[in-house]
Structure 1
Amino acid sequence: MKYEFLWTLHNHMDQAGAAETCKFGDQTTSDVTVRLRNRDGRPEWFHCHSSILMKKSKFFANWISKHPTYPSPESNNCIEVHCPGSELDHYVKLLKLSYLSEESVSDSWDSVKSSLGVLRASIALQCETITKSCIQYLEAVPWDEKEEEEILKVVPTLGPEAMPILARVQPVDTNATKTVFISAIRLATTLENSFPPFTDELKTSAQEQVEYMLLEDEETSLIAVDEEVKYEARSGLGKMFTNFEKGLSLLPSEFDRSPEAAEQRVLQSLSDLEWICSILPKMEMMKDFVSGWACISDHVLAVVQDEKYSSGLWAIKAKLIEVTGKALDAIGYGNVVLPAPSRVQFLKTWLPYIRKLKPLLDSKSADDEAFPYKMDSDLCQNIEGAITSLVLALPSNDQADILMEWMQRTEQLKYPDLSEAFEVWCYRTKSAKRRLVVGFKGIDNPTISF
């Protein structure tokens, strides 16, 4: 539905004198009648004053200056302005605002939705003062999600003068993005805990924002490989490793005083390391984690497998498998390239631990349904796949050593299941022997060509 503005001029009084006393809708002093009519012909009349309209609207000022001021059915004294039916209230409000001072106009804005509608009308009728005031309001006030969607939809259609409204949603330059990202990483990797839980909440929020920026923002993905950004992440990773090792070193003494607090401290450090593993691949830095984890693996296992903790530290022991799984995945699928001896050493360090702990966790879970640390099926499958891939990428003699040890421990054949790796190894061994035989025959019967 559309409406038409029909403006009919009446020469009732001197315009300069009217400007001092005129009020919107005052028929006794009006020299302009505004008629809105729909396509069905139902009119709504508004009595206005040409002096006001000419002062506040270039659109009407131009029209009035070009047309006679005496109404006549035969004359062309009308302006038709088309607008959607849903915009009627906004155009009426615009007429009312024309009668207010600039300060009063600024105080009249009461909602984003209404102001956006008036802005459309104001730009269409070239009401510069009202347009400026409306833009200032919309640029300054908060928007909810629906309002922001509507603004992003409407404002670009209103021309360049409305674009300041979108300042808050414009892309920032690369340096600003990098600065924000570095600050977020610094906060996400902080070890300061002076004001818990406030500090913890800030840290968690920063970690979530770093993840979002890396996973959802294409521009940030490019910044993530910047050397300054990688330096900050590497520094944070180093602090996390140091904090984790410190917690392990203090564990024996702290465990005697407060087992739960001691375990929670180490567990938090592990959780931080697990989190940073989720962002390092996007920054092409997973090798930093794998190398650091490999360096401390012997110390970690020596502590947690101490007889003192044989019936405890289940949360830490289970979390160690999850974190180690990240490293196994990176190594096994070639995302982190290490020399074969390093890969063999890493696997031989952690494979016995995983073999031993998995059935223990399953047994605890079977005995106590409330036991929360059972390895879920996805984690088991991912680790098993990574180990299989890792084994198959080793030199054949190293494969044979690992598979031989695996088969000798019949009670541990259940997990991880390396039967696929064994089958591939057997096939490769037979193929290698055939190639060797063919090679010897070729030497005994050389082909001579002239």
Structure 2
Amino acid sequence: MDETKSYKLGDRITSDIIVRLRNKEGRPEVFHSHSVVLKKNSKYFADRLSHPNPSTCIAVQCSDSDYEYHVAFLRRLYLPVDSLLDSWDSVQSAVGVLLVAAAFCCEEITQSCIQYLEAVPWEDKEEEEIIKAVSKLGPIAMPILARIQPVDLSATRNVFISAIRFATSTGRPCPPFGDELKTSAQEQVEYMLGDDEDTALVTADDEVKSEIRIGLSKICFSFEEDLSSLLLESDLSCEAAENKIMQSLSDLEWMCTILPKIDMMKDFVANWVDTSVNVLRVVEDKKLDSVMWGLKFKLIEVTTKVLEAVGYGNVIFPAPGRVLLLKTWLPYVRKIKPLLDSVGSEEMGYPYKMGEDLCQSIEGALVSLILALPSNDQADILADWMNTEQVRYPDLSEAFEVWCYRTKSAKRRLVEGVDRVDNATVSL
């Protein structure tokens, strides 16, 4: 029979040792204890009490912040080992007592804390505290961190590829969650790829890129199919028809977010250039003249991302493709802005009005895109721009000024070159 079971912390009658907790707040400091319990459960106390003439009072220094953890530790010294695990009621308390138990070399309480913390869920703030505590304890507490240890590359890639498949799925939403699971998958794919301040969890190897290309193809096919079906709809004011096509377009916009992070935006640009004519053929059909403003606005936003990627040199694309991109979308931008402005002026809280930031982004990308074209192509585009009624937007005057300067400089260089040739001939 375990003789320590009959003892209770604070029992003055049977106590033969006092533990004094020194703190600055004047809390109760004296705990009537039993040397047999202390020596059995703590190597620290066993060493202190092993002297020939041990003191009957052991002073322990503690701070105000960990006073309660020291008290909790002393109380658990009196619990049976098989009751320790059930004694914990919070992560914070277990972390605090863990540090105290490790300092006092109490293996049973330390292991109980570790087992509890390893099994229960943590809040974000608690996780930071746990990581700090484990860093002080070393290998003994490493099992606690098993859930947040780096995963091997193969397992990470498998999770990422599964998430990509879910994020690019084009079937019906999964009841009862609707599109929430798909949206969550997209968010996590974006997070796993990381950005400037984050560490990417996956590397875009051939297998990952192949899976992303398949996903992009599925989304593009779904978008084109949904878009073409609009002209077959009997009621284009039906909310379901617009929601379906808007979901496909939102998926494409999401692809524009993740593809630059893995140097695959060129795949999107190539697809967008190839399909642009067919997209606008549907969107500019008479059946859609006064409906689907959300679709028309979202097309502008997605196209802006493409224009910026190509215009600022993030995607290197052949000149004929850049000319086609400009000649396809510049007239649409020029046409749609006043229409959106007009509808917006008639409706309070209209969500599809092109804001100043979007307009400036489009203009900046267009100017950069134009100025990177061969001069004759620039001339064609600028002449067309000045011959339209909507010359105020987009404002391409900066591109026009640069084109004029370059053209005049080119003419001057040509004349100077001819003069040098003539003079060389005469001197001979």
TM range (shorter): over 0.9
Q: Does 1:188 align with 2:167?
A: yes
Question: Are 1:94 and 2:79 an aligned pair?
Answer: no
In structure 1, give the amino acid aligned to 2:79.
Answer: L
- Give 2:186's aligned amino acid: Q
Return the letter of the residue paired with 1:83. Answer: C
Q: 1:276 aligns with which of 236, 255, 260?
A: 255
Give the aligned CA root-mean-square deviation in angstroms.
Answer: 2.5
Q: Is the CA contact 1:112–1:143 (under 8 Å) kept in the aligned structure 2?
A: yes
Deviations 1:157-186 (A, max 9, x none): 233312322333333333333222222222
- Provide the C-alpha distance between the structure 1 equivalents of 2:78 and 2:426, rounded to a whole number of angstroms: 108
Shift of the 59–167 alpha-carbon distance from structure 1 to 2, 3 Å rule, reads: same
**What residue identity is the alignment partner of 1:234?**
R
CA deviation digits over 1:298-320, x for unaligned, max 9? 11111111112212121111111
Matched, 1:49 2:41: no
Provide the C-alpha distance between the structure 1 equivalents of 2:310 and 2:22, rounded to a whole number of angstroms: 74
Deviation, structure 1 residue 33: 2.7
| SS of equivalent residue, structure 1 residue 156 | helix
Pair 1:68-2:53 in alignment: yes
Tell me how far apart the structure 2 counterparts of residues 40 and 177 of structure 1 sit (CA, whole Å): 50
State the AA in 2 paired with 1:214: L
Whether contact under 8 Å (2:334, 2:393) holds in the other structure is yes
What runs of 5+ residues in structure 1 fail to find an aligned partner? 1-15, 70-75
Stretch moving more, 40-49 or 153-162: 40-49
The letter for the 2-side match of 1:287 is: K
The residue number in structure 1 matching 2:344 is 365
Correspondence 1:32 to 2:11: no
1:103-252 matches, cutoff 5 A:
103-196=82-175, 198-216=177-195, 221=200, 223-252=202-231
In 1, Cα distance between equivalents of 2:242 and 2:23: 75
Residue 376 of structure 1 pairs with residue 355 of structure 2 = yes
- Return the offset for 1:201: 0.2
Q: Compared with structure 1, are the counterparts of its residues 99 and 257 closer, same or farther at alpha carbon in structure 2 (3 Å cutoff)?
A: same
What SS does structure 2 have at the residue aligned with 1:253? Answer: coil
- Once the two structures are TM-superposed, the CA of residue 322 in structure 1 deviates from its matched residue by 1.2
Contact 2:118 2:144 in 1 (8 A): yes
The question of whether the paired residues in 1 share the 8 Å contact of 2:10 and 2:33 is answered with yes
- Aligned-partner Cα distance in 1 for 2:236–2:409: 60
Alignment partner of 2:298 out of 319, 325, 329: 319
249-258 or 185-194, larger mean C-alpha shift: 249-258
Say yes or no: does 1:400 pair with 2:379: yes
SS of 1:414's equivalent in the other structure is: coil
User: Bigger CA drift: 145-154 or 273-282?
Assistant: 145-154
Aligned to 2:310: 331
Deviation >4 Å, runs of 4+ = 37-43, 76-80, 216-220
C-alpha contact (below 8 Å) 1:112/1:147 kept by paired residues: yes
Moved more, 360-369 or 36-45: 36-45
Matched position secondary structure for 1:445: helix
Mapped contact 1:105–1:133 kept (Cα < 8 A): yes
The answer on 1:433 being equivalent to 2:418 is no
Distance 2:351 2:358 in 1: 14
Identity of counterpart residues, as a percentage?
61
1:445 aligns with 2:423: yes
Deviations along 1:242-286, one digit per CA (max 9) or x if unpaired, are 101111222122343863222221111111101110111011011
Contact 2:22 2:61 in 1 (8 A): no
- Aligned partner of 1:298 in structure 2 is 277
Q: Secondary structure at the match of 2:164?
A: helix
**What amino acid is aligned across from residue 415 of structure 2 in structure 1?**
V
Contact 1:18–1:49 under 8 Å retained in 2: no
Q: TM-score, normalization: structure 1? A: 0.88
- C-alpha change, 1:323 and 1:40, in structure 2 (3 Å) is closer
- 1:419-430 aligned at under 5 Å gives the runs 419-430=397-408
Give, in angstroms, the shift of residue 375 of structure 1.
Answer: 1.0
Alpha-carbon distance between aligned partners in 1 of 2:396 and 2:248, rounded to the nearest angstrom? 32
- After superposition, the C-alpha distances for 1:214-255 in whole angstroms (9 at most, x for unaligned) are 334877537342222211111111000110111122212234
- SS of equivalent residue, structure 1 residue 86: coil
Change (3 A) 1:135 1:447: farther
2:264 to 260, 264, 285: 285
Q: Which amino acid aligns with 2:40?
A: K
State the distance in 2 between where 1:359 and 1:41 align: 75
Distance 1:208 1:100, change over 3 A: same
- 8 Å CA contact 1:221, 1:282 repeated in 2: no
Structure 1 pair 285–342 and aligned structure 2 pair: CA distance change class (3 A): same
With normalisation by structure 2, the TM-score equals 0.92
User: Does the C-alpha gap of structure 1 residues 205 and 41 become closer, same or farther in structure 2, counting only changes over 3 Å?
Assistant: closer
Deviation at 1:323, TM superposition (A): 1.1
Larger radius of gyration: 1
Check the 8 A contact 1:33/1:48 in 2, yes or no: yes
Distance 2:407 2:21 in 1: 91
Give the conservation status (yes or no) of the 8 Å contact 2:173–2:179.
no
